[in-house]
């Protein structure tokens, strides 16, 4: 780490104590940006880096609700409005017991660069709550979502801040929050994305993150005349992103052999076929069960409390959560012959693990580029809401593919180092330049 980066990081850590995930995300970006900033003094003079790590606004609020027993529950709600230089704040809401300020700030920070890469006019934000939807009834989830929106509504709007889903927030939760916003404001607007088809949602939004991650991988491989066809793929998670990553791996002729949840992972060497995937979707989205049940149903192995990175594969798709690939896991993957990692999750690999991928020169698509398909189709949902019009499935999918290709091209443009494409550097630089130039144009605000 250069002295400049070290100095910068010390200041960030002193000002934002006890936020390790935020420090990690900032450090990864600043390390790749510093040489560029030094070569372009206009950014240093305007203190763009110092400004870009400081959220424009933090909103923290109490979320009280009544559970089914009639007891009062209290959660904490957050919205991080990180950067609006190139468009309204945009980013998901995460409901998970681990949620805290540092985690949401890392997510909001990454979102700024990701949204810039999408080519669409969206700033960066993130929010959520330490509420745990697991084991809660639909009624309890509704009560929580309504109380959450009773405060959030005054901070968001279709031209101000447009939240969406993330871990623990899917179609059900977006529906409850949209219903409450509509009731309070007496307005039917595109204030949230990930809405249902019948009430303003976009086709392909549920599929978009998983599909996009696989499209990004295919772009990396196509550049050197290869493809996913016939490749063994290890996937983690079994939620929204993982499910549609597996669906697209199947479409492209690859073979997905694992899925996981916080309990452990299943290994199905014969592949998670479309029929088996339909079972997983029913299990996870309707019955809200555990992935272990897959192993019982199909007679495959279940590894309790383990992650799938020790399974031999050609390509890996982490689609669960941050820091799920440790340094040891990254080393194991490359030693077992894994040639490609495309991140459906946000920051799933620790920084030392990322360095292993770069040192070994494998194809490595960092989350802010590889999982940008979700927010891209959110952007397309906003466009359709403004137009009061819906595009067809084919139209949205074609636009998504075009956007993932454009993101890949920006990474190649900014990240090529001799015969290797450093997609980390490419994504960080390309994402930064657009936002930084907008900030320069807007003056000191
Ligand atoms: P879901 O809630 O649908 O699924 C999350 C999956 O990850 C579940 O299988 C869950 O298991 C597992 N998981 C979550 N937290 C942990 C943990 N701490 N340890 C182990 N497993 C865990 O979320 P999504 O699929 O939407 O999100 C997955 C990842 O993708 C996240 O990193 C998210 O930020 C990122 N992402 C999501 C986008 C979207 O559009 N939804 C867009 C871009 C990125 P369990 O049920 O046991 O908790
Ligand atoms: O991390 C992400 O990009 C998301 N959770 C999706 C954000 C969005 O606004 O669709």
Q: For 133-140, what is the mean pLDDT?
A: 97
Ligand minimally distant from the alpha carbon of residue 376: 2
Dist. CA 409–CA 352, nearest whole Å:
26
User: Bridge-partner residues for 304, per DSSP?
Assistant: 264
Is 170 in the same domain as 252?
A: no
Pocket of ligand 2 (CB under 6 A): 90-92, 111, 114, 164, 166, 193, 346, 374-375, 378
Answer whether 320 contacts ligand 1 (Cβ < 6 A). Answer: yes
Q: Tokens 């307005």 — which residue?
A: 187
Is 85 in the same domain as 164?
A: yes
Residue 75's domain spans which residues? 57-188
Residue 71: CB partners within 8 Å, gap ≥ 6? none
- Asked if 360 and 353 touch (Cβ cutoff 8 Å), the reply is no
Residue 417: CB partners within 8 Å, gap ≥ 6? 425
Nearest CA to ligand 1 atom 38: 166
Question: Of 106, 114, 262, 369, which is best to mutate to test ligand 1, by the most ligand atoms within 8 angstroms of its C-beta?
Answer: 262
Q: For 109-117, what is the mean pLDDT?
A: 99
Which CATH number fits the domain that encloses residue 103? 3.40.50.10860
- Tell me: the pLDDT tens digits for 345-380? 999 999 999 999 999 999 999 999 999 999 999 999
- Tell me: the pLDDT tens digits for 146-183? 999 999 999 999 999 999 999 999 999 999 999 999 99
Is 237 in the same domain as 348?
A: yes
Which of 157, 188, 219 is the last residue in one of the domains? 188
Answer whether 344 contacts ligand 1 (Cβ < 6 A). Answer: yes
**Percent of residues in the chain assigned helix, strand, coil, to nearest 5:** 50, 15, 30
Dist. CA 414–CA 274, nearest whole Å:
37
Is 113 in the same domain as 180?
A: yes
Q: For 438-444, what is the mean pLDDT?
A: 98
Residue at 271 is within a domain:
yes
Residue at 160 is within a domain:
yes
Residue at 40 is within a domain:
no
Q: CA-CA distances (angstroms) from residue 132 to 91, 97, 290, 440?
A: 20, 5, 16, 41
| Dist. CA 125 → ligand 2 center (Å) | 9
Residue at 195 is within a domain:
no
Residue 244: pLDDT band with limits 50, 70, 90: very high
Residue 1: pLDDT band with limits 50, 70, 90: confident
Dist. CA 128–CA 73, nearest whole Å:
16
Is 351 in the same domain as 252?
A: yes
Dist. CA 300–CA 210, nearest whole Å:
24
| Dist. CA 2 → ligand 2 center (Å) | 32
Is 220 in the same domain as 332?
A: yes
Is 141 in the same domain as 222?
A: no
| Dist. CA 122 → ligand 1 center (Å) | 22
Dist. CA 384–CA 108, nearest whole Å:
24
Is 143 in the same domain as 69?
A: yes
Residue at 411 is within a domain:
no
Residue at 224 is within a domain:
yes
Is 231 in the same domain as 157?
A: no
Question: Which tokens in the block code for residue 370?
Answer: 């590889």
Question: Which tokens in the block code for residue 204?
Answer: 């392909």
Q: Considering the entire predicted model, what is its pTM?
A: 0.98
Answer whether 206 contacts ligand 1 (Cβ < 6 A). Answer: no
* Domains of the chain: total: 2
Which of 125, 160, 188 is the last residue in one of the domains? 188
Nearest CA to ligand 2 atom 3: 375
Which of 361, 379, 404 is the last residue in one of the domains? 361
Residue at 2 is within a domain:
no
User: Bridge-partner residues for 258, per DSSP?
Assistant: 267
Residue 266: pLDDT band with limits 50, 70, 90: very high
| Dist. CA 244 → ligand 2 center (Å) | 15
Is 114 in the same domain as 179?
A: yes
Enzyme catalytic residues: 126
Q: CA-CA distances (angstroms) from residue 102 to 60, 80, 192, 369?
A: 13, 10, 23, 21
Residue at 439 is within a domain:
no
- Tell me: the pLDDT tens digits for 182-217? 999 999 999 999 999 999 999 999 999 999 999 999
Q: Tokens 């209290």 — which residue?
A: 74
Which CATH number fits the domain that encloses residue 317? 3.40.50.720
Task: Quote the distance between the C-alpha of residue 61 and its chain's center.
Answer: 24
Is 158 in the same domain as 211?
A: no
- Asked if 349 and 206 touch (Cβ cutoff 8 Å), the reply is no
Three-state DSSP at 45 gives helix
Ligand minimally distant from the alpha carbon of residue 317: 1
- Asked if 161 and 79 touch (Cβ cutoff 8 Å), the reply is yes
Three-state DSSP at 40 gives coil
pLDDT at 389: 97
- Tell me: the pLDDT tens digits for 50-83? 999 999 999 999 999 999 999 999 999 999 999 9
pLDDT at 24: 98
Q: Which atom from ligand 1 is nearest to the alpha carbon of 164?
A: 40
pLDDT at 114: 99
- Tell me: the pLDDT tens digits for 279-334? 999 999 999 999 999 999 999 999 999 999 999 999 999 999 999 999 999 999 99
Is 152 in the same domain as 289?
A: no
Question: Of 133, 309, 320, 379, which is best to mutate to test ligand 1, by the most ligand atoms within 8 angstroms of its C-beta?
Answer: 320
Answer whether 221 contacts ligand 1 (Cβ < 6 A). Answer: no
- Tell me: the pLDDT tens digits for 397-428? 999 999 999 999 999 999 999 999 999 999 99
Which runs of consecutive H residues, i.e. helices, occur in 18-68? 20-39, 41-45, 48-52
């Amino acid at each position: 780490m250069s002295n400049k980066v070290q100095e910068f990081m010390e200041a960030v850590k002193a000002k934002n104590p006890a936020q390790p995930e935020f420090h990690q995300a900032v450090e990864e970006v600043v390390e790749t940006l510093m040489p560029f900033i030094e070569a372009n003094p206009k950014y240093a003079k305007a203190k763009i880096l110092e400004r870009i790590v400081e959220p424009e606004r933090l909103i923290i609020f109490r979320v009280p609700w009544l559970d089914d027993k009639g007891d009062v529950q209290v959660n904490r709600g957050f919205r991080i409005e990180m950067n609006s230089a190139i468009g309204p704040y945009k980013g998901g809401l995460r409901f998970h017991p681990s949620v805290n300020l540092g985690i949401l700030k890392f997510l909001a920070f990454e979102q700024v660069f990701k949204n810039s890469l999408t080519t669409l006019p969206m700033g960066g934000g993130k929010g959520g709550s330490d509420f745990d939807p697991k084991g809660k009834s639909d009624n309890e989830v509704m009560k929580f979502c309504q109380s959450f929106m009773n405060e959030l509504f005054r901070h968001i709007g279709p031209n101000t801040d447009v939240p969406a889903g993330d871990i623990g927030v899917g179609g059900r939760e977006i529906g409850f929050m949209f219903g409450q916003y509509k009731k309070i404001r007496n307005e039917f607007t595109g204030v949230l994305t990930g809405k249902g088809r019948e009430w303003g949602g976009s086709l392909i939004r549920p599929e978009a993150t998983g599909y996009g991650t696989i499209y990004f991988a295919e772009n990396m491989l196509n550049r050197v005349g290869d493809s996913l066809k016939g490749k063994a793929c290890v996937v983690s998670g079994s939620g929204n992103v993982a499910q549609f990553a597996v669906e697209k791996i199947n479409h492209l002729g690859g073979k997905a052999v694992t899925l996981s949840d916080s309990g452990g992972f299943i290994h199905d060497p014969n592949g998670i076929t479309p029929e088996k995937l339909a079972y997983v979707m029913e299990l996870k989205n309707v019955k809200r069960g555990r992935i272990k049940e897959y192993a019982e149903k199909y007679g495959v192995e279940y590894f309790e409390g383990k992650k799938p990175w020790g399974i031999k594969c050609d390509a890996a798709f982490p689609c669960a959560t941050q820091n799920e690939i440790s340094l040891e896991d990254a080393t194991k993957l490359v030693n077992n012959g894994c040639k490609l990692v495309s991140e459906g999750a946000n920051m799933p690999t620790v920084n030392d693990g990322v360095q292993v991928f770069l040192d070994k020169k494998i194809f490595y698509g960092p989350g802010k580029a590889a999982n940008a398909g979700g927010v891209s189709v959110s952007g397309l949902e906003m466009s359709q809401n403004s137009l009061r019009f819906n595009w067809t499935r084919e139209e949205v999918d074609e636009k998504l593919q075009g956007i993932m290709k454009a993101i890949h091209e920006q990474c190649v443009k900014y990240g090529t180092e001799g015969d290797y494409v450093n997609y980390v550097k490419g994504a960080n630089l390309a994402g930064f330049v657009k936002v930084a130039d907008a900030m320069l144009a807007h003056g000191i605000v």
